[in-house]
A = this chain, B = another copy of it.
Amino acid sequence: MNIDGRLARGQRTRTAVLDAAVSLASANGLDGLSLGHLAESLGVSKSGLFAHWRSKEELQLATIDRAVAQWREKIIGPALRAPRGVRRIHALHEARVDFYADRVLPGGCFFATTEFEFNARPGAVRDRLAEVFAAWTGFLERLVAEAVDLGELPADTDVAVLAYEIDAYGIAAAMRSRLLDPEATYRHARLGVLSRLRALCPDPALLPEGTS
């Protein structure tokens, strides 16, 4: 919006709206997201939103894309700055748990919230989410395969199952940290993946010590 609160054209405005949408949707769902509340939280009129997105569904799809961009920046970025192999896998998982622990989003995880909201509801939103999840699991599996190729994980590692396991630790963290003891949840999530990687890696010195 402008200094006086008006919505203006341009990418920056759209991004600000979508950031607010990601935040609200992580708590109330992408369908539970009220355009009236969204506009109000930005000090903007509801009808102004329809100048940028033709329908709620279009804004929902754009919100998913924005959440992907946030995920890339906050979780995938730090991982890619770590050296390839088990250390990169560990960095990815740590960045993910950090993201949840920092309470960046009120709902904990935008993707978990929207997945369970739409997984039984056919439509464009569901299809887009399926694409995002497929890309994510593919990325994780590539990281694990890379570590195997580097000899930092046993050659007979079942790549898909190990990638599944690492992802599962993260999903469980998002789920439990909001209803049960958050600190214990993060500790279990971090310690579980770390000790698993250390146990599998022929050179445990690549990873920090695991202490409970």
Contacts and interface: CB of A to CB of B under 8 A. Distances in A.
B117 A29 contact: yes
Nearest to A106: B120
A101 interface: no
Contacts of A109: 116
Interface of A is mostly: helix
A144 B133 CA distance: 31
A180 interface: yes
A126 interface: yes
Contacts of A165: 165, 168-169, 192
Interface in A95-148: 106-109, 112-113, 115-117, 119-121, 126, 129-130, 133-134, 137
A188 B163 CA distance: 10
B179 A172 contact: no
A158 B120 contact: no
A19 interface: no
A191 interface: yes
A28 interface: yes
B116 A107 contact: yes
B167 A184 contact: no
Nearest to A27: B120
B161 A188 contact: yes
A90 to B, nearest CB: 16
A176 interface: yes
A50 interface: no
9 contacts: A32-B117, A106-B120, A107-B116, A126-B179, A133-B179, A133-B180, A134-B180, A164-B185, A172-B172
